[in-house]
Copies of this chain bind each other. A is one copy, B any other.
Amino acid sequence: MRAVEVAGIGIHPFGRHGDRTVTDMGVTAVRGALAEAGVGRGGFQAAFCGTAYGGVATGHKVLGALGMTGMPIVDVEAGCASGSAALMLASSAIAAGQYDTVVVLGVEKMPKGIIRSSFFEPWQEEAGLAATPAYFALRAARLMATSGVTKDHLAAVVVKNRRQGVGNPDAMFRAEVTAEDVLGSRLVCEPLHLWMLCSPNEGAAAVVLRAAGSSGARPGAGAGPAPVRLAAAVLRSHLPGAVLSESTPLAGLVDDSVVPPTTLAARVAYEMAGVGPEDLHVVECQDTDAARELLSYEELGLCAPGAAADLLDSGATSLGGRLPVNPSGGLLSKGEPLGASALGQVVELVRQLRGEAGPRQVPGARVALSHTVGRGANAGVVVLTR
């Protein structure tokens, strides 16, 4: 298998962008990534686009607006992990020799508030069971019941990520908040208050992947930034039986041993990349809500089961700590445009590995992990190295 590298990254800021269409935002992100990679028209052989609500032919519209079509364009949906799924498909195909250079993009334009998901059947909506934040709240409550996590820890995750997001010009929220602010915001579903939940919003991100050593650069293009290696991009679905799984079943078994999809994906990603959680220097993980970040610490093996609160309390996962998590500010600062969020994480981590992350730079970062998980269930784990 050939090694795969990230030759270029591009992003359209996450936020609220009025009349800018999904296509407009995707064009911005793809142009940025192509420019960095020195790749032009005819310089890539396939494109993969992650989107959950973009509609028919989302990737085609973006590439069509750029006059860059004719190759296979595949639009994939994997909920919050849509971008990871696109990345998995693209990197596998390059590793296998199917393509040399591939464009991967993620785009989304989501309405405000709780999203009406096509995931639920009409009767579930009618019965009040399509209450997405309530499922998050139940996971948070279980985490609190089975570990030392308290509501103060949930607030502390928000304070940490919002502080880190101040340094990210592509984030939607760039003001620090206090624990009092967080705990004083409206109660959505006990124990989750409004500011503990990320905002669905709008944005796009893109990367150009390339077989290491292949020359996809346009003649005359500059050398560009040092390439980052994509060491693993893994997607996994859920195993049956866990009632609070992101697959959102109506019932499950009295069985706490079901391995979550994040752990399934992480194990394979660590093996592919030849690293373990102890080798990581920086992580971007799914913080749809504050408890989800803490749960991710456990599921990714960043700490022992039940030790997420201790890891947070130690300061290790804050900027300046041993293993900063969500230096970009996370989804709590950036908001979550579903199809774009995973690639937004990858954009952040590539900047970190290149040493281009400015005020939020993790010094000497050489091994980075991106994690998304959501409806499906789908979990995506990506390992980047330099």
**Which residues of chain B come closer than 8 Å to A201, judged between CB atoms?**
none
Flag A343-386 by CB within 8 Å of B: 1 or 0 each: 00000000000000000000000000000000111100000000
| Interface status of A247 (Cβ within 8 A of chain B) | yes
Bound complex: CA A180 to CA B56 (Å):
36
| Interface status of A72 (Cβ within 8 A of chain B) | yes
Q: Are B60 and A377 in contact (CB under 8 A)?
A: yes
Q: How many residues of A contact B (CB 8 A)?
A: 48
Q: Are B57 and A119 in contact (CB under 8 A)?
A: yes
| Interface status of A9 (Cβ within 8 A of chain B) | no
Partner of A56, one of B56, B73, B77, B237: B77
**Which residues of chain B come closer than 8 Å to A153, judged between CB atoms?**
none
Q: Are A56 and B52 in contact (CB under 8 A)?
A: yes
| Interface status of A236 (Cβ within 8 A of chain B) | yes
Smallest beta-carbon distance A365→chain B, Å = 28
Q: Are B57 and A239 in contact (CB under 8 A)?
A: no
A108-152 interface with B by 8 A CB criterion: 117-119, 121
Partner of A376, one of B60, B77, B261, B378: B60
Partner of A73, one of B21, B73, B97, B237: B237
21 pairs across A/B with beta carbons < 8 Å? Answer: A21-B121, A56-B79, A56-B119, A57-B247, A57-B376, A60-B237, A60-B376, A64-B247, A70-B237, A70-B261, A70-B264, A72-B234, A72-B235, A73-B378, A74-B76, A74-B89, A92-B98, A95-B96, A96-B96, A96-B97, A96-B98
Q: Residues of A with Cβ closer than 8 Å to B?
A: 21, 52, 55-57, 60, 63-64, 67, 69-79, 85, 88-89, 92-93, 95-98, 117-119, 121, 234-240, 247, 249, 261, 264, 375-378
